[in-house]
Amino acid sequence: MYLIRSGTVVTAEKSIDADVLVEGEKVVKIGKNLSFTDAKTIDASGKFILPGGIDPHTHFDLPMFDTVSSDDHYTGHKAAAFGGTTTVMDFIPQPDEGKLADGVAEWRGKADPKAAIDFGFHMNITRLDEEIEKEIPKLLEHGIPTLKVFTAYNGKLRLEDDEIFRVLKIAKEHNMLTMVHAENGDVIEELVAEFLADGKTDPIWHARSRPGWLAVEAVLRMAALAAEAKASLYVVHMNTAGGVEMLNYARQQGVRVMGETCPQYLFFNEEHLSRPDGAKWICSPPMRTKTDNTRLWKALIENEFQVLGTDHCPFFYDGTTEIDYEGSPIAIPGKELGKDDFTKIPNGLPAVQDRLLILWTRAVSTGEMTPNQFVALTSTNAAKIFGLYPQKGTIAEGSDADLVIWDPEKKIKYGVAQSHHRTDYNLFEGWELIGYPEKVFLRGNLIVDGEEWHGKAGLGKFLHRVPNGEFI
Ligand code: URP
Ligand code: ZN
Ligand code: ZN
C-alpha cells in the first residue's frame, strides 16, 4: 500500500493538488490530506503524478530481413518503463500459412513469460481469404479487437484495396478497429527497381523510393474506403504535412478516421538519412522534410492527431560489435546488413523509452503544451481508442495504479548511455532533457525507482481487450 503525498495529479481533463492512495493494484482514493498508517508514504511535492504512458505501436522480437528487432518483450518493456510507459501494444504477424489463432499463440508464447509491463496485441491482416475473413471476428475471443493492414510491402504484407475494404466492413460489423500503414506499394516497387538499377544504394534512396506525395494519397484513399465501409480507421505513423490535411479533410466530412504520429517524424528528416550514419534513421514510412516536421509538430500541438506512439522497432547500427546489456555481451545483426544496399537495411528504430521524455522537454517545458494535453496524447486517448479506459489511461478511484511520479525540474543529457533499449545507438543522443520519471508503478508495484529497476519478467499481464474502443 502506498500513499503518494502532495503531488499534482494530472489527467487529460484537469490537474489537482492531491494525495493518491494505492492499495494492491488499484488507486483507491484521491484527496487532500489523506492519512493511512499502514501505507508506505512517498513525498511527491513539486512533482506531477501522471497515468502511465500507453504506447499502442511497438514491434518487439519481430523477424525482419534475416534478423530480428533487437528488443524483445522483456528488454523493450523495461526500456518503456524507464521512459514512463506502462502499457504497450504489439503487432502479431499473420502466419504465412494457417490460422490467425496460431499467430496469437506464437506471440503470447513469446510475450507472456517475458512481459514486464502490461501489454495488448493487434493482428496484422496481410493475407485474406474466406477462411481468414471468418476468423477475424474470432480474434475477439483472444482479446484482440484491433487489426492492422498495409498498402505497401508488395508481395509481403500488402493487401489490395478491395481486400482492405472487406477487412473494414468485417471490422465495422464486429465493432473492431482497423489500423493502416498508408503508403503506395506499387510506386515504391517501381522506384526501388529504378534506383538499384542506377546503383543508387545509400540510405537516402530509401526515402526517395517512398515518396511523401504517395503517402498523402494513401491516407486519403484509406479514409475513402473507411467512409464507404462506414468503419473507423486509425492511421499509424503519420509522417507528412499533406497527410495531416487529408486527415482533417476526412474528419470534417464525418469520416471516423484518427491519426497517430511518432517522435521521429517530428524532429528528423532527409538530412539525417544523408549522414554517413544515415542507416540509423531508416524506417518505413521514411523521414520526410523540414516542412513536414513543422506541420506535424503543429498538428500535434493543435490536437489534430489523437495519439503519439513510437513504432519502436530497433536494430543495432553495428550488429557485429557486442554491447553490454544487463551485464552480458550481446550483438544482434542490424543495419550493417544493408551497407551496400538500402533495401537490405532492416526498417525500424528505437523510441519506446524516448517518447514521453522528448515530448515533455520539447512541448511541455517550453509551454507549448499543457501537462493535461501531454497525458491525453501519450496515454488517455490511446486507452479510449483501444478499449482500455478507464482501467488504464487515467488516475481515478478504481483505475489500475499505473503511475509515474514525474520530476519536471530534472535535467539530463540523454543518449544511448541513459537509454535501456537493447541497441547500440539512440536518435536523441546529446539532447538536453528537462523533465524525467522519478518513480514508475505498474498496478501498484514500484518497478522503476530513479535508475533502479525493480521490475521483472512475468509481472506484465496480457490485456484481454473488448471491442468498446471510442472514436475520438
Ligand atoms: O520501419 C518500420 N516502421 N518497421 C516496422 C513495421 C511497420 O511498418 O510499422
Ligand atoms: Zn507500419
Ligand atoms: Zn509499425
* Closest residue by CA, ligand 1 atom 2: 348
Instruction: Tell which one of 313, 335, 427 to mutate to probe ligand 1, the residue whose CB is within 8 A of the most ligand atoms.
Output: 313
Rounded Cα distance, 37 and 220, in Å:
58
Residue-by-residue DSSP string for 94-155: PPSSS-HHHHHHHHHHHHTTT-SSEEEEEEE--S--HHHHHHGGGGGGGT--EEEEES-STT
* Closest residue by CA, ligand 1 atom 8: 284
What number does the ligand 1 atom closest to the CA of 59 have? Answer: 5
Strands 403-413 and 48-51, sheet pairing = antiparallel
Ligand 2 centre to CA of 237 (Å) is 7
Q: Is the pTM of this model over 0.85?
A: yes
Closest residue by Cα to residue 205 from 280, 151, 270: 270
Ligand 2 centre to CA of 259 (Å) is 13
Render pLDDT for 134-178 as a digit per residue (tens, 0 to 9). Answer: 999 999 999 999 999 999 999 999 999 999 999 999 999 999 999
Rounded Cα distance, 243 and 248, in Å:
9
Q: What is the fold, at CATH topology level, of the domain defined by 55-364?
A: TIM Barrel (3.20.20)
Q: What is the fold, at CATH topology level, of the domain defined by 2-50+394-453?
A: Urease, subunit C; domain 1 (2.30.40)
Q: Which residue has the higher pLDDT, 340 or 326?
A: 340
- Mean pLDDT, to the nearest integer, of 237-264? 98
- Mean pLDDT, to the nearest integer, of 190-204? 98
Judged by its nearest atom, the ligand closest to the C-alpha of residue 62 is 1
Render pLDDT for 443-462 as a digit per residue (tens, 0 to 9). Answer: 999 999 999 999 999 999 99
What band does 4 get if pLDDT is binned at 50, 70 and 90?
Answer: very high
- Mean pLDDT, to the nearest integer, of 198-207? 98
Instruction: Tell which one of 283, 310, 352 to mutate to probe ligand 1, the residue whose CB is within 8 A of the most ligand atoms.
Output: 283
Render pLDDT for 333-348 as a digit per residue (tens, 0 to 9). Answer: 999 999 999 999 999 9
Ligand 3 centre to CA of 262 (Å) is 10
Render pLDDT for 100-145 as a digit per residue (tens, 0 to 9). Answer: 999 999 999 999 999 999 999 999 999 999 999 999 999 999 999 9
Straight-line distance from the first to the last Cα atom of the chain, in angstroms, rounded to the nearest whole number: 35
Ligand 3 centre to CA of 56 (Å) is 10
Judged by its nearest atom, the ligand closest to the C-alpha of residue 309 is 3
Q: Which residues surround ligand 3, an ion (CB under 5 A)?
A: 311
Residue 36 has pLDDT above 90, yes or no: no
CB 364 within 8 A of CB 435: yes
Ligand 3 centre to CA of 231 (Å) is 21
CB 248 within 8 A of CB 304: yes
Residue 468 has pLDDT above 90, yes or no: no
* Closest residue by CA, ligand 1 atom 9: 311
Strand partners, 434: 411
* Closest residue by CA, ligand 1 atom 5: 348
C-alpha cell at 414: 540523454
- Mean pLDDT, to the nearest integer, of 2-14? 98
* Closest residue by CA, ligand 1 atom 4: 348
Q: Write down the pLDDT at residue 215.
A: 98
Percent of the chain exceeding pLDDT 70 equals 100
Ligand 2 centre to CA of 311 (Å) is 7
Quickly count helices (H) and strands (E) in the chain.
14, 21
What band does 355 get if pLDDT is binned at 50, 70 and 90?
Answer: very high
Q: Helix crossing, 241-252 with 212-229: angle to 10°?
A: 20
CB 259 within 8 A of CB 244: yes
Q: Write down the pLDDT at residue 37.
A: 86
- Mean pLDDT, to the nearest integer, of 391-418? 98
Element (H, E) at 291: helix 290-301
Where exactly does CATH 3.20.20.140 map onto the chain? Answer: 55-364
Ligand 2 centre to CA of 235 (Å) is 9
What band does 35 get if pLDDT is binned at 50, 70 and 90?
Answer: confident
Instruction: Tell which one of 59, 183, 315 to mutate to probe ligand 1, the residue whose CB is within 8 A of the most ligand atoms.
Output: 59
Counting Cα atoms < 13 Å in the Cβ hemisphere of 179 gives 28
Where exactly does CATH 2.30.40.10 map onto the chain? Answer: 2-50+394-453
Q: Which residues' Cβ are closer than 6 Å to ligand 1?
A: 59, 181, 283-284, 311, 313, 347-348
C-alpha cell at 344: 537490405
Average pLDDT of every residue of the chain: 98
Ligand 3 centre to CA of 346 (Å) is 13
One-letter amino acid of 46: G
